[in-house]
Amino acid sequence: MITIKSEREIEGMRQSGAIIAGMHKGLRDIIKPGISTWEIEEFGRKYIEDHGARAAQIGFEGFEFATTVSVNNEVAHAFPRKELILHEGDIVKVDTVVDLDGYYSDSAWSYAVGEVSPEVQRLMDVTFKALYIGIEQAQVGNRIGDIGAAINAYVEDENGFGNVREYIGHGIQPTMHEEPAVPHYGVAGHGLRLKPGMTITIEPMVNMGGWKVETSEDDGWTVTTEDGSCSAQYEHTIAITNDGPKILTSQDPEFDAKYL
């Protein structure tokens, strides 16, 4: 069921989102060659709990960690690991969900480990811009298909990267995953019409090669690119309002205002 949120509920989600944003900003100083992905988990969990919130991924369908930490060809949902050490040139994706007094927010971010290759940097840049292209379409009166069509045109048609199909954005609040589904591909003018008070995530996952992915048979969670190519992801939680899309997990409101 799709619920329409009040201004009070959206403000609660914004406060939750500010915790995620602060965590991601802190990770900019943490992520560097030589650290393990477990250190990212430790930092993220402590940051969330120190700010009076709960890492909502813990216990979700048996998941045991506050964050997912996916490296290089790992697209999403990878476990943080003490034995996995980051190296110069890696790309790492960190995703988490915060529950602050019953208000949820969800955000993922990609980080370069040291200096990455020009190809990886381009992948990150395209994925980042794809996120904001999608957000720009999240206007009252537009349809879900407008978001996906704009993202796919930019990622695949303009830049030749693979736009992951299997994992998509979603509604959020009063739980982590709600209706509607928000694909990052689609047909403009089709799908559910967006209304004020809806809250959704937009979270394109973009592969340097093809769009197909596979899930590990060993742990049942880790998603990797089928062809072994690197992948990037950026995600925001947003509210649909009469004044345009509002990013509830913004790391830099002034930047977002200029971009949108």
Q: Is residue 1 part of a domain?
A: no
Q: Binding site for a divalent metal cation, residues?
A: 95, 106, 170, 203, 235
Per-run averaged pLDDT (10 residues), the chain, 260 residues:
96 98 97 98 98 97 96 98 98 98 98 98 98 98 98 98 98 97 98 98 98 96 98 98 97 80
Residue 140 domain-assigned (yes or no): yes
Q: How many structural domains are present in the chain? A: 1
Asked whether residue 169 is assigned to any structural domain, the reply reads: yes
- Which of 213, 219, 215 lies closest to 231, judged by CA? 213
Q: In this predicted structure, what is the pLDDT of residue 172?
A: 98
Binding-site residues sit at 77, 95, 106, 170, 177, 203, 235
What is the per-residue pLDDT for 259? 67
pLDDT of residue 147: 98
Predicted pLDDT at 19: 98
Helix axes 144-152, 118-136, angle to 10 degrees: 160
Helical segments of the chain, H only: 7-30, 37-50, 118-136, 144-152, 253-259
Whether 250 is covered by a domain: the verdict is yes
Q: Which domain holds residue 26?
A: 7-259
CA 108 – CA 119 distance, rounded (Å): 21
Does any domain span residue 11?
Answer: yes
Q: How many CB atoms within 10 Å of residue 50?
A: 10
Q: CATH number, domain at 234?
A: 3.90.230.10
d(CA 216, CA 209): 19
The pLDDT value recorded for residue 257 is: 76
2 in a domain, yes or no? Answer: no
- What pLDDT is stored for residue 165 in this prediction? 97
Sheet of 213-215: strand order equals 74-76, 223-225, 213-215
Can you give the pLDDT at residue 118?
A: 98
Residue 255 is predicted with a pLDDT of: 81
